[in-house]
């Protein structure tokens, strides 16, 4: 089942004198099978990333180092999530216009994704996104 609301999920962290280890299992900690992993790093100060929505893709974002903000807009309201803990991640369902910003120097975010990379899954225009949301509400 595809969850409809974004939420923070705490993942297991094994803390030892020799350091920490965190892990994520498909179906146990996140509600999808991981098909792809990508990461974002070396983001210059003041840069924004994202500014698009996905029709189908589910993602789980974990900030391994540093901090960043994720703004999620559902077509009517915007919610902000600050990601700054490596043992917590943001479950990001499809159907949200996302903006990533306020990357601190050295921030690294790893993203676990439910699908392979598919440019056709992206909505890159905000008005198109609103129209797509409206259509979904009518047909749901």
The residue (of 23 and 38) whose beta carbon lies closer to ligand T46 is 38
Which residues have a Cβ under 8 Å from the Cβ of 89 and sit 6 or more positions away? 8, 9, 11, 24, 30, 60, 61, 62, 83, 112
Which of 29, 52, 54, 87 is catalytic? The answer is 52
Closest alpha carbon to 9 in 109, 90, 110: 90
> Does 38 contact ligand T46 by CB under 6 A?
yes
> Does 40 contact ligand T46 by CB under 6 A?
yes
Least distance in angstroms from the C-beta of 120 to ligand T46? 12
> Does 23 contact ligand T46 by CB under 6 A?
no
* Residue 53 near residue 128 (C-beta atoms within 8 A): no
User: Using CA atoms, how far apart are residues 113 and 33, in angstroms rounded to an integer?
Assistant: 8
Annotated catalytic, 52?
Answer: yes
Least distance in angstroms from the C-beta of 1 to ligand T46? 21
Residue span 89-128 as binding mask against ligand T46, x where in contact by CB under 6 A, dash where not: ---------x-x----------x-----x-----------
Phi-psi region of 85 (alpha: psi -120 to 50; beta: other; left: phi over 0): beta
* Residue 63 near residue 82 (C-beta atoms within 8 A): no
Residues forming contacts to ligand T46 in the complex (CB under 6 A) are: 36, 38, 40, 49-50, 59, 98, 100, 111, 117
């Amino acid at each position: 089942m595809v969850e409809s609301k974004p939420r923070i999920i705490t993942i297991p962290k094994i803390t030892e004198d020799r350091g920490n280890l965190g892990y994520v299992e498909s179906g146990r900690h996140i509600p999808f099978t991981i098909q792809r992993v990508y990461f974002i790093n070396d983001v210059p100060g003041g840069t924004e990333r994202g500014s698009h929505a996905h029709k189908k893709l589910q993602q789980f974002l974990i900030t391994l180092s540093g901090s960043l903000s994720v703004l999620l807009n559902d077509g009517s309201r915007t919610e902000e999530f600050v990601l700054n803990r490596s043992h917590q991640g943001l479950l990001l369902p499809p159907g949200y216009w996302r903006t990533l910003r306020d990357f601190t120097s050295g921030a690294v975010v790893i993203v676990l994704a439910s699908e392979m990379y598919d440019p056709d899954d992206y909505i890159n225009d905000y008005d198109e996104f609103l129209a797509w949301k409206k259509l979904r509400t009518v047909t749901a």
